[in-house]
Amino acid sequence: MTNASLQHSHSHDFLGVDHDHNARRTLWVVALTVVMMIGEIAAGYFTGSMALLADGFHMATHAAALGISAAAYGFARKHAANDAFSFGTGKVGDLGGFASALVLGLVSTGIGVESVIRLFQPTSVQFGTATLIAVVGLIVNIISALLLSAGGHSHGHGHDDHHHHEPAHGTDNNLRSAYVHVMADAVTSVLAIAALLAGKFLGWVWLDPLIGLVGAVVIARWAYSLMKDTAAVLLDRTDEQVALEIRELLQQGEGLDITDLHVWRVGPQARAAIVSVHGDSGRSADDVRAALKSVHEISHLTVEYRLA
């Protein structure tokens, strides 16, 4: 029996080429959100507007969630070379994404509960002030979305059309979580503007809480999709696409029998793999390693070769 390990370098830095770029984009969005939050709370305090105060504290929850994403980037970079993390810190972003998904789920629950209460117990709405707040919030979210969309390769809100619901290769789930938070707030702003205008000009006061319920459902679905994908990474679910590619490549060689195969994600663009192979004496672990050089996603490969 022989063992061999393939690493492109001795470093276990699997953060991906976009890590620092995405981190900077996220920090800009955090700063923008915090400024908006402080402005709304201050304006609400000095004008006595409860609507401004309420939206300001609502922005605080998004600032906290975006702060989680920024902190995850910082922690991952700071400890990238720390040997205490056996496979590096490439999955810290997925942990941040999972935490953000939980926050997003709580936000959607709060919106849903408040909408149901207002549906059965209508309250007076200051349509002019509320509409202005929603428009300003939408502008901030559009700017934030543009900043984040310039960062990574993919932000998909869901992967329902993806095989076995696996995240797309190269997806930075930490950036995705920040993007989903921004988009969730943008969607609620658009829906709120439509409902407020209908309430002001058509008298459809009931539409505001109903639209709130719709927004809560949409946000909950995004939160669930993000939570499911990040949990799969954190629990080392097999990357079936890369595993299939490995099997197909090794099956091309005669006399090789794969007895065990593990493939999991260790970073946005990095996978680790352990392959156990039975073969004849004319081959070795080096042959297996050479056959898998074309699988660029593999950043850390361990081969166990046993004579048949």
For the stretch 100-128, pLDDT in tens is: 999 989 988 988 898 888 888 887 777 88
Q: Quick check: is 6 in a domain?
A: no
DSSP, collapsed to helix, strand or coil, labels residue 3 as: strand
Residues in the chain: 308
Exposure of 10 in the CB half-sphere (CA atoms within 13 A)? 1
User: Which CATH number is 265's domain given?
Assistant: 3.30.70.1350
Residues 175 and 268 in one domain: no
Whether 264 shows a pLDDT value over 70: the answer reads yes
Clarify whether residues 178 and 291 are in a common domain.
Answer: no
**CATH code of 68's domain:** 1.20.1510.10
What is the extent of the structural domain holding 246? 239-307
Residue 2 belongs to some domain of the structure:
no
Which of left, alpha, beta for 164 (phi over 0: left; psi -120 to 50: alpha)? left
Q: What is the pLDDT of residues 278-302, one digit of tens each?
A: 888 778 888 888 889 888 888 899 9
Question: Do the Cβ atoms of 268 and 296 come closer than 8 Å?
Answer: no
Gap between the Cα atoms of 190 and 200, Å rounded: 15
**pTM exceeds 0.75:** yes
Q: Map residue 256 onto helix, strand or coil.
A: coil
pLDDT at 269 over 80: yes
